[in-house]
Amino acid sequence: MSVAPMLDWTDRHCRYFHRLLSRQTLLYTEMVTTGALLHGDVARHLRFNAEEHPVALQLGGSEPAELARCAALGEQWGYDEINLNCGCPSERVQRGAFGACLMAEPQLVADCVKAMVDAVSVPVTVKHRIGIDKTESYAFVRDFVGAVSEAGCSTFIVHARNAWLKGLSPKENREVPPLRYELVHQLKREFPHLTIVVNGGITNSGQVAQQLQQLDGVMVGREAYHNPWWLSDWDAAFYGAAPSGRTRETVEAQMVDYMTREMAEHGTPWYAIARHMLGLRHGLPGARRWRQVWSDHKLKALNPHDVMALAHGRQQLAA
């Protein structure tokens, strides 16, 4: 099991929260571009909490030497895996000549992967789509995986939709092109020696179990973010772990301790962290009121313990 890299969502605070829910699930950073690392604040992009392991760094780029340097940085910072983004369809990413448009250049991707594999000892993986635009032939994705695997990549995370590079927004690209899981299953049959992980449209444990009958792993994106308590079942359901006995209340209290520590050590405001746990009480009575308190910026001067007390009605806001 893994939680997908999601821009503006899976920052280190979100990953800390998800790790409280599942010990085993592989977590991913937001995509970090090579330019941001080579010309920006490395610590801001790569700092993470030791508790997050296992955690993978997703890179965006298309220049082999630059990707190799950034992969080496990722390994130095302690990441357990380096992932190359060949799936993001946004025009901003296309202008940088990376993301899903790279699928049209499998040899360039192979060169990028080889450069990264030569630079690090941790696994190098690739996340991609099943096709781009209206190209719906299985041969397209098969040839892409074949070429890139020869460069030293043995794990492919396949979002089971095409990426339409023109005419659809990134949001529409996650919803409009049809899901075609059968192509991902076909990849596994054709490349049984590779690790094939499916991504896209999976929202419950029954669907996960179904996919795991044919594939090596499942990556969940938006559902893991909006309904995070689901993650608390994964260790027992998919890794054979004993039930943890954790409750939503204990996880919330641990997050409040984390917010307090982050404020003291880095000056991080609590609401920048709390936004990631707003789905924790998804579907429960009183969840809306609880969410409103934790997202109320009028309370930002309070300490997070007081906000938690307000959220549970244990304390009233002074007039």
As annotated, the active-site residues are 88
Answer whether 18's CB lies under 8 Å from 255's CB.
no
Structure token pair of residue 20: 């409280």
> What is the C-alpha to C-alpha distance for residues 140 and 113, in angstroms, rounded to an integer?
19
> What is the C-alpha to C-alpha distance for residues 145 and 138, in angstroms, rounded to an integer?
11
Phi first, then psi, for residue 296 (nearest 5°) are: -85, 110
Preceding peptide of 170 cis, ω within 30°? no
For 131, residues 6+ apart whose C-beta sits below 8 A from its C-beta are: 103, 137, 140, 141, 162, 163
> What is the C-alpha to C-alpha distance for residues 24 and 234, in angstroms, rounded to an integer?
8
